[in-house]
């Protein structure tokens, strides 16, 4: 049974998950590159480690949620990385959004040390992470999945098993392809509605009930109308994911014409300086082009 856990990467997603692990009663060690982000959890009883190598010693399970493939490279494979401190019998779970090829590289490196590895990225954002309502996908050895499932169930409302390593990372990219296109569709639709002189509150009332409704369209549409771009999922992370989707789809010769359009608008919005705002700030690139501002 899992009793001791280390959580590395206390950003928007990791901080919520780590807090919920403490609440669930696990003995928790935390590490974050910027150590200040460990303070709240330290006050709540977590041990704070100085390096990833130090963080992972003698715990049952190591979990991490990091920005991108490069961060995983540093935290897992780096000079003070996880691989320097981890030992046979321990389990590692990468909850970041990364290329499936990165998950496979991690799995191989861990296997050489006798460590089991799952890729387990998540859907949901800041609120779902804080509320333990994430939608989690996991891939890797089935017996290991069954062993850690009770832990994942403390973080999410659903946990889906996807088979061999890399498949959960692939599913995350499939989902984020849909997310990127929904955000692009919402932005284009709202700019057109504004240009057409429609009442935008009524537009959103229809979006909420019609057969094309989705929670993502409703929550982002409402925030856009209020000009609230506070970050749940940063625009720059959406752009990062668009790059991953592009690479992954190209490796499989799978067509992604619409994703390329969305990616161009994400790039424009980041170039305009909105990268740290919420991904819904994608609309600002279209607003610039259209000469309008979408608000209630
Ligand atoms: P975030 O708030 O930007 O946090 C990123 C974390 O990665 C921070 O702990 C950061 O440390 C760390 N990090 C970045 N570069 C690093 C490096 N080179 N070395 C060590 N640590 C590094 O991001 P997030 O929103 O929590 O997202 C985390 C992952 O979950 C990403 O892969 C993202 O795509 C995915 N995701 C996010 C959401 C969402 O809605 N936010 C939803 C699903 C999945 P510092 O604090 O020191 O910068």
Per-residue pLDDT at 265: 97
Per-residue pLDDT at 155: 98
Query: Is 172 a residue of the active site?
Result: yes
Neighbours of 208 (CB within 10 A): 14
4-164: CATH superfamily: NAD(P)-binding Rossmann-like Domain (3.40.50.720)
Neighbours of 227 (CB within 10 A): 10
Would the CB of 269 count as within 6 Å of ligand 1?
Answer: no
Per-residue pLDDT at 118: 98
To the question of domain 170-290 being in CATH 3.30.70.340, the answer is: no
Neighbours of 179 (CB within 10 A): 20
Which residue among 10, 11, 278 has the greatest number of ligand 1 atoms within 8 angstroms of its CB, and so is best to mutate?
Answer: 11
Which of 3, 133, 164, 172 is labelled catalytic? Answer: 172
Per-residue pLDDT at 257: 98
pLDDT along the chain (296 residues), means of 10: 97 98 98 98 98 97 98 98 97 98 98 98 97 98 98 98 98 98 98 98 98 97 98 96 98 98 98 98 98 96
Per-residue pLDDT at 127: 96
CATH fold match for the domains 4-164 and 170-290? no
Distance 20 CA to ligand 1 centre (A): 17
Which residue among 9, 220, 238, 278 has the greatest number of ligand 1 atoms within 8 angstroms of its CB, and so is best to mutate?
Answer: 9
Q: What does DSSP say about strands 4-8 and 61-64: parallel, antiparallel, or unpaired?
A: parallel
Distances (CA, A) of 123 to 37, 119, 178, 233, 243: 23, 13, 12, 11, 18
The atom number, within ligand 1, closest to the CA of 13 reads: 26
Per-residue pLDDT at 158: 98
Residue 134 is encoded by which pair of tokens?
Answer: 């994430």
User: Is the distance from CB of 107 to CB of 137 less than 8 angstroms?
Assistant: no
Would the CB of 102 count as within 6 Å of ligand 1?
Answer: no
Per-residue pLDDT at 231: 95
How is the chain split into domains, by residue range? 4-164, 170-290
């Amino acid at each position: 049974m899992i009793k001791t856990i280390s959580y590395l990467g206390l950003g928007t997603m990791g901080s919520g998950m780590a807090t919920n692990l403490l609440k669930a009663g696990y003995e928790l060690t935390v590490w974050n590159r910027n150590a200040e982000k460990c303070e709240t959890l330290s006050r709540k009883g977590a041990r704070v480690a100085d390096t990833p190598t130090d963080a992972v010693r003698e715990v049952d399970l190591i979990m991490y949620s990091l920005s991108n493939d490069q961060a995983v490279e540093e935290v897992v494979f780096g000079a003070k990385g996880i691989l320097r401190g981890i030992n046979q019998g321990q389990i590692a779970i990468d909850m970041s959004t990364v290329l499936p090829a990165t998950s496979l590289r991690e799995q191989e490196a861990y296997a050489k040390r006798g460590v089991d590895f799952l890729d387990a990225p998540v859907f949901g954002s800041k609120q779902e992470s804080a509320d333990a309502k994430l939608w989690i996908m996991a891939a890797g050895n089935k017996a290991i999945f069954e062993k850690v499932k009770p832990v994942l169930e403390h973080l999410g409302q659903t946990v889906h098993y996807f088979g061999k390593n890399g498949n959960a990372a692939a599913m995350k990219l499939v989902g984020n392809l849909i997310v990127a296109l929904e955000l692009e569709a919402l932005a284009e639709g709202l700019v057109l509605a504004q240009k057409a002189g429609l009442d935008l509150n009524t537009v959103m009332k229809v979006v909420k009930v019609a057969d094309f409704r989705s929670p993502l369209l409703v929550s982002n549409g409402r925030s856009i109308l209020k000009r609230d771009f506070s970050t749940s999922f940063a625009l720059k992370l959406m752009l990062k994911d668009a790059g991953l989707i592009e690479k992954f789809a190209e490796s499989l010769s799978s067509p992604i014409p619409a994703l390329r359009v969305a990616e161009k608008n994400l790039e424009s919005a980041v170039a305009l300086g909105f990268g740290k705002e919420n991904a819904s700030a994608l609309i600002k690139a279209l607003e610039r082009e259209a000469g309008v501002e979408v608000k209630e």
